[in-house]
Amino acid sequence: MFKEFVFKDEDVIKFCEITRDHNLIHIPQYMRENGKKTVVPGMIILSTAIGMAGDLFKAGANMLELYFHSIIGTGEKVEIGYELQEQKPLKAEIIARNTINTLSKKGNPSMLMQMDECPEFTSEGIMRTLDVRPNQMQQFAAMTGLIDNELGYLLFAITYASRGLLLSIDEPVTEVEREINRYLDKTINPEKLSPFYQYLKIYLPAQAIKPQPGHNLNYLIHFKRVKEGRTYDARVTCFQQGGLIYYSEYQLIAIPDRLIMRMASAV
């Protein structure tokens, strides 16, 4: 099942307002001044693809393994959807393709799968609470084609974790968080680095609750150094009102801003 999309500057502006994403590469005026197209947030592409595969969650899918390869600019055609590979256990590839599949990296495709058991995470980490505005989840769900759909609320909680990770970096508490902050602080680091996701894994345990609109989300975040100044892992557990929503694992790589701009398409 596939559908062709062309995201506009207005779509990016609205999505970033809903998710409170202030990255300069998603601001049309800034990108135009640099001769580049606005970069479409990876999570709007991903959420659109997963939303199209919503029936697979009802069929038992409980794990997402996601890889990020390249970026897509506004005005570019992108074919989004999924290909079912196995029925039992359920397995499907999530795809977003323009010239290449942006959700595949070094031969690793993004997958939606069914697992017998999800791993249990420890209670390590710092809890970060993010406020959720009235109708914020509903706005996100509507924009990703999932209006009045619980999956839209789950995808909002997954997308909003990025804000929690940035908060951990901007207001560091642990040694590793302070280390990441030093490398990404553009006022002291001449390299001007930004975090970029290499992969993201989401686990939906059987006891997980469904996120509810209008209530704050809590993220227990634990960073681990892989290679100083370059690569870091993060475990993120999402809660709401004391109930578990999902577990997740991230790998973030620090990429020079000049390289990200080079990757962006010219106007």
pLDDT given at position 120: 77
Residues 148-175, mean pLDDT to the nearest whole number: 95
pLDDT given at position 147: 83
Task: State yes or no: cis peptide before 89, omega within 30 of 0.
Answer: yes
Residue 48 to residue 146: CA distance in whole angstroms? 9
The radius of gyration of the chain's CA atoms, rounded to the nearest angstrom, is 18
pLDDT over 90 (residue 148): no
Residue 196 to residue 181: CA distance in whole angstroms? 14
pLDDT single digits (tens) 83-136: 999 998 999 999 999 989 999 988 899 999 999 888 877 788 999 999 999 999
pLDDT given at position 221: 97
Residue 21 to residue 33: CA distance in whole angstroms? 20
What is the distance, to the nearest Å, from the Cα of residue 142 to the centroid of all Cα atoms in its chain? 18
pLDDT single digits (tens) 19-53: 999 999 999 999 999 999 999 999 999 999 998 99
pLDDT single digits (tens) 170-220: 999 999 999 999 999 989 888 899 999 999 999 999 889 999 999 999 999
> Domains of the chain, with CATH numbers?
2-263 (3.10.129.10)
Residues 55-78, mean pLDDT to the nearest whole number: 93
